[in-house]
């Protein structure tokens, strides 16, 4: 069986990666599987362990890194986030196209290890709109919001590391564009084999 594609979706906090991802996952023809990350961040209301993330302690996270079990990992606003390697390898072997929703440092590590990774960066229509979306979430204290906004500014400067930059002004449009990109890349990968 042909190995599935590896896809990275990045973009600043609040840009709507989760919403776009949810829409993409509805399209069975894309054969997408979402890679569940590991994090040391506290669970938000409504999140489920093993569904949104694997929520672990710093010790558990560091052990997984030391044992070489992570494809990539990074520290983001005081917490660790990373992609467990085994699941990604298994799913790709089964022919699934695996999508990672990760930040820019992690993407760089993946690009070094998997040169044919498809990288997509979502941008907001404006920074004002992004701030509105981050504040609208109302789940975090002002201090964390400020950190996320500062981080967003820095992340926006890294977008040229990505193959595609898509504006998430309209979720359906952004999702449709990404679907076309994924389908074409899968075709190209199959043509090359």
- Pick 165 or 189: Cβ nearer ligand 5GP: 165
Distance CA 143, CA 145 (A): 5
Question: Going residue by residue from 101 to 140, which x/- string records binding to ligand 5GP, judged by CB under 6 A?
Answer: xxx-xx----------------------------------
What is the distance, to the nearest Å, from the Cα of residue 92 to the centroid of all Cα atoms in its chain? Answer: 16
* CA neighbor of 14 nearest in space, from 122, 154, 175, 108: 122
**Shortest distance in whole angstroms from residue 102 CB to ligand 5GP:** 3
The residue number with the shortest CB distance to ligand 5GP is: 106
- Pick 51 or 193: Cβ nearer ligand 5GP: 51
Distance CA 78, CA 140 (A): 14
**Candidate residues 74, 98, 120, 122; the one interacting with ligand 5GP per rule CB under 6 A:** 74
Exposure pattern of 76-108 as b/e (b: 16+ CB <10 Å)? Answer: beeebbbbbbeebeebbeeebbbbbbbbbbbbe
- Pick 13 or 97: Cβ nearer ligand 5GP: 13
Is 40 a binder of ligand 5GP (CB under 6 A)? no
**Shortest distance in whole angstroms from residue 57 CB to ligand 5GP:** 16
Quick check: 122 and 15 in contact, CB under 8 A?
yes
- Pick 135 or 183: Cβ nearer ligand 5GP: 135
Quick check: 52 and 66 in contact, CB under 8 A?
no
**Candidate residues 72, 122, 174, 182; the one interacting with ligand 5GP per rule CB under 6 A:** 72
Q: What is the DSSP letter of 61?
A: H
**Candidate residues 8, 13, 61, 118; the one interacting with ligand 5GP per rule CB under 6 A:** 13
Is 16 a binder of ligand 5GP (CB under 6 A)? no
- Say what angle helices 17-26 and 171-192 make with each other, to 10 degrees: 60
Binding site for ligand 5GP (CB under 6 A): 13, 37, 41, 72, 74, 76, 81-83, 101-103, 105-106
């Amino acid at each position: 069986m042909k190995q599935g594609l590896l896809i990275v979706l990045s973009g600043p906090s609040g840009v709507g990666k989760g919403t776009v991802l949810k829409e993409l996952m509805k399209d069975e023809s894309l054969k997408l599987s979402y890679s569940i990350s590991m994090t040391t961040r506290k669970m938000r209301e409504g999140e489920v362990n093993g569904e949104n993330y694997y929520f672990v302690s710093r010790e558990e996270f560091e052990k997984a890194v030391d044992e070489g079990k992570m494809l990539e990992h990074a520290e983001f606003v005081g917490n660790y986030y990373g992609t467990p390697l085994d699941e990604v390898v298994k799913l790709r072997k089964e022919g699934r196209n695996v999508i990672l929703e990760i930040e820019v440092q992690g993407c760089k590590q993946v690009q070094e290890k998997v040169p044919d990774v498809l990288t997509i960066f979502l941008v907001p229509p404006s920074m004002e709109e992004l701030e509105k979306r981050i504040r609208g979430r109302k789940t975090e204290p002002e201090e964390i919001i400020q950190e996320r906004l500062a981080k967003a500014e820095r992340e926006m400067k890294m977008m040229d590391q990505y193959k595609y930059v898509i504006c998430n002004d309209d979720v359906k449009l952004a999702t449709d564009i990404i679907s076309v990109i994924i389908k074409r890349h899968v075709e190209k990968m199959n043509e090359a084999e």
